[in-house]
Each structure stands twice: as structure tokens, then as C-alpha cells.
Amino acid sequence: MLGFATLTTLLMLVSTALADTMLAAVYEPGNNKLVLDPAFPVPTPGEGEVLLKVVACGVCHSDVFILSAASPDPRSYILGHEIVGTPAQLGSGVQNISTTQLYGVFIIDPTNTNVLASTGTGLNGGYAEFVLVNQAQLIPVPDGLAPEVAAVAGDSLITAFNAVNNVAQVSQGSTVLIYGVGGLGHQAVQLAKHLGATVYAVDLRPEARQLALDLGATQAFDLEDLTAVTGNGTFHVDIVIDFVATAQSFALSKAAVALSPSEGFAGLSTPGKIVIVGVSAESLDFASVDLISGNIRVFGSLYGSQDDMRRAFDLLSQGVIQPNITVAPLTDINAALEALTAHDVTGRTVVMPGLDSNGTNSRR
């Protein structure tokens, strides 16, 4: 189990003289694997910038999506956007940033709010020993929170929080179906439960369904079972949060929240909500009459705010959200991405550049 002992060891590396080059996992257009470059130049921070020594970086499905070339990206850069680290070098004008503090990275630079040109998604990210960020992107990690746990606040938990709390507005008494119990979904199960909802889950994988039950879901369906209960009208929820976003998941989500004719006039009923979080290249087809007659509202949800990230840190620090995490060295990043592509990851994988192959461990 990693924690402050590991963090202390990794922080000791910061005090050593910075090398000119570093290990980095680089995305190159047309390559379905990241290129491990052991001699990537270490950047120098400019005005208002901080060179962060990466302690941990979460592995995300959006990285798999980029590598799949489903939506080709012509840029070459270091992937990885779920980052925590410690400042190794401060640029001019940087204030109130401590070199002994662990920070999380809010991926959007306030001077450039294009999410497709953000840290790890267009700009060099955290699958490296160092990453350059604007000081305004740094949010302190609460004392006592292990870096591999804190990393999930950078994307997976902030995204789940925005979808569950802000967009879906899950509250006491809500009934919620979490579609896909992966790196984001298993945290969404815990959050919806914490907010007072009755939570259901659906996933292809038996181990993911069991995880959902262990985390408080009332029932966890496979696709066949969910198809059956939505088809015969015996299952209905107020909200579906879809972390898969395929044609099949959208069809089943509509069936789960749709108002049945026997339930009366749609205008007198609370609309069912579908919140789409997952990224896929599939088209999600619908006829407007289905949404109108079923009293369905469809929302998209992307990332969150810096305040959401602070809330995510609080939830982790308080133990409300206990992410299922596997850690691996940065050198194993392609294996981690391949496992994620094959749906062989239950929870979240976090790479730690300071680890070697003998340091791999798992924690709950």
C-alpha cells in the first residue's frame, strides 16, 4: 500500500539537480501506442509557470480514444491529464506555491480555455517525469491523501462529480442507473449513494458488477437482464448517467427513464434525465417523438470546475469516495492502456514515474 512513505521518497528526488532530459510517453499521429522517449527535453518554466515533478498520473479512456484515431489528432504531444506532483522549478512571478506541497493539476489553463488544447490533451501532459503548467492550474492536495488516490480528482472524480451532482442533480430519494462501472462509474456509484439516491448499475463485466454491489448499488445488471426489465416495463429510474455512450447504451437509457403511457400526461411528470459522459465515435440516434412522449431530457457533461476539484479532494480525504486503484510505473503505460482498451481494468490505473517494475502494487 502506497502512501506518505512512497511520497517522501519521491519528493526527495525534487531536491536533486534537474536533468536536461526526461522519460516521456509521447503520442504520435498514426501510432496506436505511445512512444517512450527517454531523452525528451525537460521544459523551463516561464512567467507564471511551474515545472511540476509528476508523482502520479491517472490513465484515462480519453487517451484510448485518442490512440484509436476515431477522431484523428494531427498533433504530437505527451498524453496524461490526471496529474499530481510537486513543484521542481518556479518561473518568474510565481507566488504562493510551495516546493514541498503536493498539488493536483486542473487541466485547463485559465489563459487558454480550449479543453482540446489543455494539459495532456493537445499540450504536453503527465505521462512524463515533469510537466509544465500555469500556476493557476495548481490546487493543493489535502494533507494525508496519498498521491495515487489524489490523482483521480484531476479528471475521473471531477467529471463524475459534475455529472452526478451538478448536471443530473442527484438528491435524496432519486433513483439512478450508472451505466458502466469503470474508472469514473465506480466513483459515481459512491457519490450518488452519498447524495441519498437508490443506485443501480449495469456493466458487461461480472467483476465490475460485483464492485458496484460492494460500493452500495442495490442491483447490478448485465445487458441481457437490463434489456429484459426495461422491455417489460418492470424497471424505471429517474436518472441514467451513461459512461459508455454507445447506440446500445443510449437505447437502454431511454427505455430506463421513459414515461410509460399508463403514467399519464408527460407535462405533469418530472422528466427523466439521461446524462451522457462517455466519449465514443458512435452516433446516438433518436426520434424527437420518443423524447417528447417519454418526457426525457438529455444532457452532456464534460469535466468540471476548480471548485468541483476541491470538492473531489474533500470527498477523497473524508473517505466518502474510495477509488479502486492499481498503480504501475510509467514504463508500463502502454500495457496499462492496452488493459483499459480490453476492458481488463476494474477501477482506475495510476502510473507513477518514480516507481520501477518492482514497485507495482494495488490498493482499494
- Ordered by where they begin, the domains of the chain are 4-155+304-363 (3.90.180.10), 158-300 (3.40.50.720)
DSSP string across 65-83: HHHHTSS-----EE---EE
∠ CA 34-36-42, rounded to 5°:
115
Is 210 exposed, middle or buried, given 0-12, 13-18 or 19+ CB atoms closer than 10 A? middle
| Three cell numbers, residue 302 | 464534460
**Cβ atoms of 10 and 354 closer than 8 Å:** yes
Q: For residue range 92-139, list pLDDT tens digits in order.
A: 999 999 999 999 999 998 888 888 889 999 999 999 999 999 999 999
Q: Could you report how far apart the first and last alpha carbons of the chain are, in Å?
A: 9
Pairing of strands 77-78, 21-27: antiparallel
Angle between helix 247-257 and 223-231 (nearest 10): 40
DSSP string across 165-228: IIIS---TT-EEEEE--STTHHHHHHHHHHTT-EEEEE-S-HHHHHHHHHTT-SEEE-HHHHHH
pLDDT of the residue at 1:
42
pLDDT of the residue at 363:
36
- Supply the Cα-derived Rg of the chain in whole angstroms: 21
Q: Which amino acid is at 201?
A: A
| Three cell numbers, residue 192 | 450518488
Low-confidence ranges of the chain (pLDDT < 70): 1-17, 260-269, 357-364
| Three cell numbers, residue 104 | 493536483
Is 29 exposed, middle or buried, given 0-12, 13-18 or 19+ CB atoms closer than 10 A? exposed
pLDDT of the residue at 46:
96
**Cβ atoms of 84 and 154 closer than 8 Å:** yes
**Cβ atoms of 129 and 23 closer than 8 Å:** yes
**Cβ atoms of 180 and 212 closer than 8 Å:** no
pLDDT of the residue at 364:
34
What's CA 274's distance to the chain center, in Å? Answer: 19
pLDDT of the residue at 260:
59
pLDDT of the residue at 45:
97
Is 33 exposed, middle or buried, given 0-12, 13-18 or 19+ CB atoms closer than 10 A? middle
Q: How many residues does the chain have?
A: 364
pLDDT of the residue at 362:
37
Quick check: pTM over 0.85? yes
* Residue reference for cell 430519494: 173
